[in-house]
Amino acid sequence: MPENYKKTKRRVPVATIVCAAFAVIVLGISAILMMETEISPAKIIYGALGIYLFFLLWVAVISIIRNRMTKGNLADIKTSVFGTISFGFVQSLHMPVLICDEKGKIIWYNEILLAGYKSHGVLCGKYIDAICNATIEAIIQKGEEGMEVSFLPDSGIADEQNDIVFCARSYQSSSKNKIYYTIIFEDVTEIKNLNQRLMNEDPIIAYAMIDNLDELTQYVQELYSDTTRDVENILRRSMEKVGGIVRNYGHNKFLLVFEAEHLATFEKDRFSVLDEVREIRVGATALPVTLSMGIAKIKGSLYEKERATQSALDMALQRGGDQVVVKSPGKFDFYGGKTKTVQKQDKVRARVIANELLALISSADNVIVMGHKYPDFDAFASCIAILRLAKFCGVKAFIVCDKTTKALAPCFRKISGNPEYENVFVDKTEAQDLIRSGTLAVVVDVNNIDYCEAPDVVNTVSDIVVIDHHRKTAEFKIQPKISYIEPSASSASELLCEFLEQIIPLKTLPKIEADFLLAGIFLDTKNFTHNTGTRTFSSAMYLRGEGANPLDAKAFFNMELEDFRSEASFETNVTIHKASIALAVNRNEDNPPIARVNASRAADRLLNVSGVKASFALCRIGDSVHISARSQGKINVQLILEKLGGGGHFDSAGAQVKNTTITGAEKLLYSAIDEYFVENHYVI
Q: 672 with 666: CB under 8 angstroms?
A: no
Give the 3-state secondary structure of residue 93: coil
Average pLDDT over residues 444-448: 91
Mean pLDDT, residues 443-450 taken together: 90
Domain boundaries, the chain: 3-91, 95-193, 206-336, 348-555, 561-679
Phi and psi at residue 222, in whole multiples of 5°? -70, -15
Q: Long-range CB contacts (< 8 A, 24+ apart) of 89-95?
A: 93/184, 95/184, 95/185, 95/186, 95/187
Confidence band (pLDDT; 50, 70, 90) for 403? confident
| CATH ID of 348-555, from 3.90.79.10, 3.40.50.2300, 3.30.2130.10, 3.90.1640.10 | 3.90.1640.10
| Span 537-565, average pLDDT | 87
Helices 534-545, 492-503: crossing angle, 10 deg rounding:
60
User: What is the structure's pLDDT at 239?
Assistant: 93
Nearest-angstrom CA–CA distance, 216 and 460: 43
Please report the pLDDT score of residue 358 as a whole number.
93
Q: What's the rounded mean pLDDT across residues 52-79?
A: 53
Q: Cα separation of 629 and 650, whole Å? A: 10
pLDDT, position 44: 58
Could you tell me the pLDDT band of residue 32, with boundaries at 50, 70 and 90? Answer: low
Round to whole Å and give the CA distance between 607 and 571.
Answer: 12
- The Cα 454–Cα 372 span in angstroms is 9
585 - beta bridge partners? Answer: 618
Has residue 164 got a pLDDT over 50? yes
For residue range 648-659, list pLDDT tens digits in order.
778 888 898 988
What pLDDT does 370 receive?
95
Tell me the whole-structure pTM to 2 decimals.
Answer: 0.63
Q: What is the pLDDT of residue 371?
A: 94
pLDDT at 34: 55
Bigger pLDDT: 202 or 56?
A: 202
Range from 77-86, 89-98, 383-392, 415-424 carrying the lowest mean pLDDT? 77-86
The pLDDT, as a whole number, for residue 360 is 94
Mean local confidence (pLDDT), 340-367 = 82
CATH of 206-336, one of 2.40.30.20, 1.10.3720.10, 3.40.50.261, 3.30.70.270: 3.30.70.270
The answer to whether 173 and 191 are in contact (CB under 8 A) is no
Q: What is the arithmetic mean of pLDDT over 456-461?
A: 92
Tell me, what amino acid is at 348?
Answer: V
pLDDT above 60 (res 20): no
Query: DSSP class of residue 116?
Result: I
May I ask the CATH architecture of the domain 95-193?
2-Layer Sandwich (3.30)
Contacts of 501 (CB under 8 A, 6+ apart): 539, 542
Among 70-84, 320-334, 596-610, the least confident range: 70-84
Per-residue pLDDT, 544: 94
Q: What is the mean pLDDT of residues 583-599?
A: 83
Is the pLDDT confidence value at 78 over 60? no
What average pLDDT does the segment 602-631 reach? 90
* CA neighbor of 321 nearest in space, from 447, 474, 486, 475: 486
pLDDT of the residue at 225: 75
Confidence of residue 3 (pLDDT cuts 50, 70, 90): very low
pLDDT (tens digit per residue) in 481-492: 998 988 888 899
Asked if 617 contacts 638 with a C-beta cutoff of 8 angstroms, the reply is no
Percent of the chain with pLDDT over 90: 31
pLDDT in tens, 250-274: 778 999 999 999 999 998 888 889 8
pLDDT of residue 7: 43
Please check whether residue 47 is in contact with residue 23, taking contact to mean a CB–CB distance below 8 angstroms: no
Give the 3-state secondary structure of 253-294. EEEEEEEHHHHHHHHHCCCCHHHHHHCCECCCCCCECCEEEE
- The answer to whether the 206-336 and 561-679 domains have the same CATH topology is no
Local confidence band at 217 (pLDDT 50, 70, 90 cut-offs) = low
Is pLDDT above 60 for 39? no
The residue among 11 and 608 whose pLDDT is bigger is 608
Q: How far apart are the first and last CA of the chain?
A: 94
Mean pLDDT of 98-120: 79
Query: Alpha helices of 572-614 — where are they, by DSSP H?
Result: 595-606
Q: Where are the beta strands (DSSP E) in 469-622?
A: 482-485, 574-577, 581-586, 614-621
pLDDT band at 590 (very low <50, low <70, confident <90, very high): confident
Average pLDDT value for residue range 531-560: 89
Average pLDDT score over residue span 84-94: 69
Q: What is the 3-state secondary structure (H, E, C) of 213-250?
A: HHHHCCCCHHHHHHHHHHHHHHHHHHHHCCCCEEEECC
Closest-CA residue to 224 (of 206, 246, 247, 250): 250
Share of the chain above pLDDT 70, in %: 80
- How high is the pLDDT of residue 399? 95
Radius of gyration of the chain from Cα atoms? 42
**Between 65 and 415, residue with greater pLDDT:** 415
Task: Indicate if the pLDDT at residue 459 is higher than 60.
Answer: yes
Tell me the average pLDDT of the chain.
82
- Secondary structure (3-state) at 159: coil
Q: Are 251 and 228 contacting, i.e. CB atoms less than 8 angstroms apart?
A: yes
Range 561-679 classified under CATH 3.10.20.30 = no
pLDDT at 438: 93
Confidence at 38, pLDDT banded by 50, 70, 90: low
Greatest Cα pair distance in the chain: 155
User: Which amino acid, residue 368?
Assistant: I
Query: 377 and 496 in contact (C-beta within 8 Å)?
Result: no
